[in-house]
Amino acid sequence: METQVFDTKPLLRPHQLDEMRDEVKAAEAKLSNPAIQDKGEARKQLIRTRATLESQTPRAPVDAAEEGRMVAREKQLLSEVLAGMPSQEEMRKAPPGAVDKHMGWEKRNKLKILEWKNLRLRLNPGERETANLERHRPVTSSLSMDNAVVQGKNIYIPDNVGATVTFSDADLNRLRALKPGLAETVGAMTNEQRAVVKEMLSMMPSKKREPKPKPEKKPRKQMSPEAKAALLVRLAEGRAKQAAARTAAQAG
């Protein structure tokens, strides 16, 4: 069975579709604007913009059969394109031979990449990263990284090395209280020795701070009936004086 080959004419990405639709609206507004003198040129611009939008908009499959053929072709193309594709490390560090490898791969797969991207845009409308081939770039390199343009560091850690044991300031203070001088030697210990000290420290009971006694609240002083009566009289006299002052001010 012969494999169907799909169109390789570039299609618009989701963000490009939004921009093109805005251009169509702007051209329509320009044509209807009475201040525009050259209506003929405005009409031509609108026709060109609409034609671009129409021809480069990704179309969904017409039926399930076409969708099946598109999915099969997309998987086939991706498998063929990834063969010999420079790895992430090769593109990043540019070792000897990386440029030639990339140029040769790109020349062999140019039409396949365009067809694959179009199929992705048609099968997944609205997904902004659906046609991004970088998401599938291999991670395994075939070129030597010796004498690469961008040098990296290779750090080898033995298998038997666990997580580094650390001490907080509180741990060191407790250690000084338990055994003076030992805290100052922690930095020179091996990781295993620090682990032993850390375990010993965790087994020691920590001193609990006794809560401070809350101060007793002083009882509020109660007023005698005579004092309350005197206070009310003073308040009444004060209000009477204020009322008299307001009356005098209004009469004057």
- 27 with 49: CB under 8 angstroms? yes
Dist CA 174 CA 168 (whole Å) = 10
**Residue 61: helix, strand or coil by DSSP?**
coil
Taking 90 as the threshold, does the pLDDT of residue 229 lie above it? no
Give me the chain's average pLDDT, please: 83
| CA 246 to each of CA 217, 236, 238, 240: distance values in angstroms, whole numbers, following the listed order | 44, 16, 13, 10
Q: For 157-189, write each residue's pLDDT tens digit.
A: 555 556 788 878 888 888 778 777 777 787 787
Closest CA to 201 of 181, 237, 222, 172: 172
- Global pTM exceeds 0.75: no
Q: Hey, where are the domains in the chain?
A: 14-136, 169-203
pLDDT of residue 22: 95
Q: For 106-164, write each residue's pLDDT tens digit.
A: 999 999 999 999 999 999 999 999 999 999 999 988 888 877 777 666 555 555 556 78
